[in-house]
Every structure is written in structure tokens, then in C-alpha cells.
A = this chain, B = another copy of it.
Amino acid sequence: MSAHISKIYQYIDENFDDHLEKIREFLRQPSISADGTGIRETANMVKEFIENLGGVARIVPTDGWPIVYGELISDERKPTLLFYSMYDTMPADEPGWIVPPFSAEIVNMDPFGPTLVARGALNTKGPLRAFFNALESILAVEKELPVNIIFVIEGEEELGSPNIPKFVKNYANKLKRANAMYFHIPAKDRDGRIRMHLGVKGIVYLELYVRGGDWGGPTEHGIHSSNAAWVDSPVWMLIHALSSMKSPDGKILIDGFYDDIRDPLPEELMLIRNAVKTFKEDTIKEQLKVRRFINDLRGEALIKQYIYSPTLNIDGIIAGYTGPGTKTVLPHEALAKIDIRLVPNMDPDDVVEKLKKHLIKHGFNMVNVRVRDKYPWAYTSLNEPVVKAMIDTYREHGYEPEIWPWLGGSAPFYAFNRDPLNLPFVFGGLGHAGNAHAPNEYFVVEDIKENEKGVVTFLYKFASIMEG
């Protein structure tokens, strides 16, 4: 097998200029699920990617943006991988981009050298197209893939994947043919180390909104701030409601918030003990442009803080006048956007109920809660074949992965990992990319090549393990 693989690697090397161009072309097409920009055009591109490899694909309508479903099935007896991915991205309205976010320019980024900078370079259109480049390379050399692939590529991941569960239910008979789910994303850090996570946190995204009404405050528009002497303030109420939910030292004060967190499993504790040996706090600090972690934590305590802490994060807050000068106004409304990350065994619906109860208990009846999305965590054991295949892939390419029980972020893997599919899953890949959800999102050019080769390795490893 290894002889064939080296030919495929060679094909990737020889065709890399073309592969890189295909990635850039894909990134130049915006696909912002928040406002719908370019969504339909991008879904069509993805459908064509599958068809161009000889697969069948269709664009499946949902109540939101469509899902691209596809199949590349050459032999029913081969193992089958469910390739779950996303063609949507975050908006790109943050200041600080060194090149336009949809120009997909290659800049010389210290210390990486030539680097592709674009919204979606990392999360996830860059890796998605790199995956197709890898498939194309296998087919060019070998005529067929070592596994069957079922594609589920959605356009609402950044909106919380609201339509994935219904899709999975409707397509369950087709999806059940898969042996495992794979989400492809580069996992190498800026120092060349690979971190692997077996699971993801769940999430609740909600808005807290206060407006003047029967309880007090201006009801129709901001009023002269001299009235603050005798009129209540919606923005102060929002701030008091927020601060009632979290202490300055970070403890979440909602009754029962931490109740359902389960104790670490022995497997998790073993993984954390191993991870501490190679974990470098400074690399993460440099990546995030952060000078200090919460409470100056280090080592095992820091890893446990990241893994086992549910969060109550303020994504944004706005009220009143925020421009230049000194406009005095008592605003009539105030809005905060919040995300809550859930660890096993917290339940999204339960957390929303506890938050609502908290607001009422503390007298903040005027605070409206609008749940924008929510889904649970997912976790797979180290012993699953698909996980082993990924670990073997990393090792084959010279990396000993640092394995963490789960990631601080969220992804809707629960939709495949729980009923009705109950699929084991893995997410990861080779190469270094950075700045997801931030300006100057990037994928190092040389690492794109490594990433494509890693896909080849992984698919053959998975086939080999599954076939015993």
C-alpha cells in the first residue's frame, strides 16, 4: 500500500499550484450564513466538486440554507466514511484584516512564509477544498478510493446547525451505511505540534434584550439623560442581570448550573496526564495574543480549566450612543449576545430553563431571553477505529499527537454521534492554520500540501483498520 501512497503524494506535489488555485477560488466566493451572502453560489460549487470526482450530489433544501448531500460509493463492501463539513463561514466585518478577507491573497507571514489569508481559510472552506484535492489525487493515481464516502456539507454550521438533526433523521437510511463520521480541519499548532480532541462542548447561543415598558424605562426611544434621576434604565438593568449571573472571579452564579457535570473518566484523566508532558502554554498564548490565562493557571490545572469549565461568554453588547463625542442619552433598549459552552453531561434545554429561572428569581423579569441556537456536546472513545486511524496518520507523518478529552469549541457532531446513527467520529488533520473567527484567518501554504497528503494517509489507514 505504501508504494501507491507515495505516488499519490508525488501527484499532490506535482499538481500543488493547481490545488492551491482551486482553494483560493473557493475562498474568493463569500458564503456568510449570518446574512446569506453567497450561500447558494457556494453550495453549487460544492455540489460540482463531488460530481467532478464522479460522485452523485444534490442540494437538499432545509428551513434555512441548503445542505449538499453526496455519495462516492465504488464498492459496497468497502468501509464507508461520513464526511461531514460546512461551506459557510463567519462574517468578515472585524477590523484589522491585512488583506481583504475575500481576496484569498498569499502573504509572507512571519514565521510561516507564504500563507493564504482569507475568511474560511481555516474554518472550514480551505480544508474542505483541500480534502477534495486529496480525493482527486487518489483517483488520478489509483482510479478508486480506499473507502466509500458519504458527504454531508452544510451551510449553517456558524448558525448552530439548526437543520442538521432533521436532515439526519430524513436521510438516516442512507447515512446508516457509514461506519464513522469525519470532520476535516488542520490541527497543528504554530510550533508544529498536533493537538487532538476526542469530543466537543455543546452550546447555547442566546440574546438578552431589555426595553422600557410597564416595569419602567423609556419605551419608544432614548430620552435626555437628565431623566436618569427619575426614569429606570434598560441598559443598567441588563448590566445588573448579567453581573448577577457571574462573579468577577468567573464563577457562574445560576442555581444548579454545574450540577450535571460528570466526573472525568479514567481514560480522560490518563489523556490529561499525558498531555501535560508536551503541553506548552506559551504557544497558545502567542496564538491567541493573550498574556495571561485565568488565575495564572498552568499545566494540568490549565488543561482541566479549559476542558471541564462550562462558559458564559458575552459575544457582544450594545446600547445607546457609542460614537464620538459626548451625546447624553438614557437609552430605551439594550442587547447582549451570549454563548454558553456545555460539558458532559449538561443539557442545553435544562441550562436555558435554569437561566430563565435565575432572571425571574433575581427580579429581572424585564430581561427577554431569545434562544438563537443550542445543541449538546459529543464524545468518542480513544478506542474507536476512526480515532486510531487519525492517530496513526499523525504518527505516519512524524507527529506524536497530544490528545485531549475534548475541545473548548462546539460542533454539531452530536447529530451523528447520538440516535439514530450512533456513529463514532473523529476530527482533525495535518497542517497549521489559525485565527478562526478573527481577522487574518490563515492556512500556511506549505501546510496545505501536508494537509492534503494527510487526507490520503488517513483514508488508507481507516480502510486498513476496518478491514482488519
Contact = CB atoms under 8 A, between A and B. Distances in A.
Contacts of A227: 288, 290, 408
A219 B428 CA distance: 28
B224 A438 contact: yes
A294 B212 CA distance: 12
A323 B223 contact: no
Interface string A241-285: 011101010100000000000000000000000000000000000
B226 A236 contact: no
Q: Which of A94, A201, A297 counts the most chain B CB atoms within 10 A? A: A94
Contact of A408 (B229, B239, B329, B331): B229
B221 A96 contact: yes
Interface of A: 33-35, 90-91, 93-94, 96, 158-160, 201, 203, 205, 212-233, 235-237, 239-240, 242-244, 246, 248, 250, 288-294, 297, 302, 305-307, 309, 311-332, 334-335, 337, 339, 341, 363, 372-373, 407-410, 436-439
Contacts of A212: 289-291
A34 B323 contact: yes
A301 to B, nearest CB: 10
**What 3 pairs across the A-B complex have the smallest Cβ distances?**
A34-B325, A226-B408, A316-B320
A327 B306 contact: no
B335 A160 contact: no
A248 B291 CA distance: 34
Given A218-B288, A232-B294, A318-B319, 17 more contacts: A91-B327, A94-B221, A205-B326, A216-B290, A224-B436, A226-B341, A226-B408, A227-B290, A230-B297, A239-B239, A239-B317, A240-B243, A316-B329, A316-B331, A326-B337, A326-B339, A329-B437
A363 B222 contact: no
Contacts of A217: 290
Nearest to A205: B326
Given A309-B229, A314-B235, A222 B94 contact: yes
A204 to B, nearest CB: 10
A440 to B, nearest CB: 8
Contact of A34 (B240, B250, B324): B324
B326 A159 contact: yes
Contacts of A335: 322
A315 B240 CA distance: 16
Nearest to A310: B229
Contacts of A240: 243, 248
A311 B228 contact: yes
A89 B177 CA distance: 69
A229 B326 contact: no
Given A226-B408, A229-B305, A438-B223, A317 B235 contact: yes
